[in-house]
Amino acid sequence: MFKTLATLGLAAALLSGTVTATLADDSKPVKIGWAAWSDAEFVTKLAAKLIETKLNHKVELVQADVAPLYQGVARGDLDAMMMAWLPQTHADYYAKVKDKVETLGTVYDGAKLGWVVPDYIPADQVASIEDLKKEDVQKKLSGTIQGIDPGAGLTRLSEQAVKDYGLDGYKLQISSEAGMLTTVDRAVRGEKWFVATAWSPHWMFGKHKLRYLDDPKKSLGEAEHVDILARKDFKSDDPEVAAFLSRMKVEIPDLEKAMFDAQETSYDAAVDKYIKDHPDQVKSWIGDQG
């Protein structure tokens, strides 16, 4: 249905600036960037399917890390990205490009970052990040906070949280979303204690019984909105697709259900199911083309 470019090659090219001429040569496909987060993958592939099937525009999906995506949209190498977590998570990335991009809309509200533990850990022992300083709790958690990608906003905020709460005896284990999920799955099967960096929306909350730890210092931020950013002039260059993206909005419970469906089947199948189950919503996004 659409082309996906190699992650490492594209990321390196975006960072070095060498991809500009290559992408600019073909003005026909709408180039949408995404990073390998499950929520971003679903909404991006949902948008791509509708742009192709309802608006009859070709789409090229471009996978890279978060920082190169912001740079790619700012330089015009990419037309849009659908995963700008604001105002805090991606604050540093956005600050560097805010004058070079346009916000088309908010694809979902109420997004959240935090640290989670399984429900089988008693809440009277671990309810807050502050509780991680307890000697017996630290021992049961092996002094480890399971993290994700090194370039993620959640990683940056988690590093700050370790400092804010004085968790000197802990190591933030840098990994990836897949690595974090593997650790969580393995620990839950053995009912072992763990604490992991996490975010909502995410399908893992449909698979496991997890709870967020209280964050009284607000080190990990509060509820956020996830915006769609576009390059300058995209609205005038492709008003139909820009208008569609500006109307696209998904409720978090619906998104988490769709993300879980994607894990049980595939993202393509979950996208098709979402479109079938939400005809009125899709029609409103498409507008007169629906």
Give the chain's domains with CATH numbers: 3-110+225-289 (3.40.190.10), 111-212 (3.40.190.100)
Output phi, psi for 112, to 5 deg: -145, 140
pLDDT tens for each residue of 177-218: 899 999 999 999 999 999 999 999 999 988 899 999 999 999
pLDDT tens for each residue of 238-273: 999 999 999 999 999 899 999 999 999 999 999 999
Q: Rounded to whole angstroms, what are the CA distances from 14 to 8, 22, 23, 85, 89?
A: 10, 11, 10, 20, 21
Indicate the pTM of the whole model. Answer: 0.74
**DSSP assignment, residue 201?**
S
Q: Which residue has the tokens 């099967």?
A: 189
**DSSP assignment, residue 213?**
P
Q: Which residue has the tokens 């307890």?
A: 134
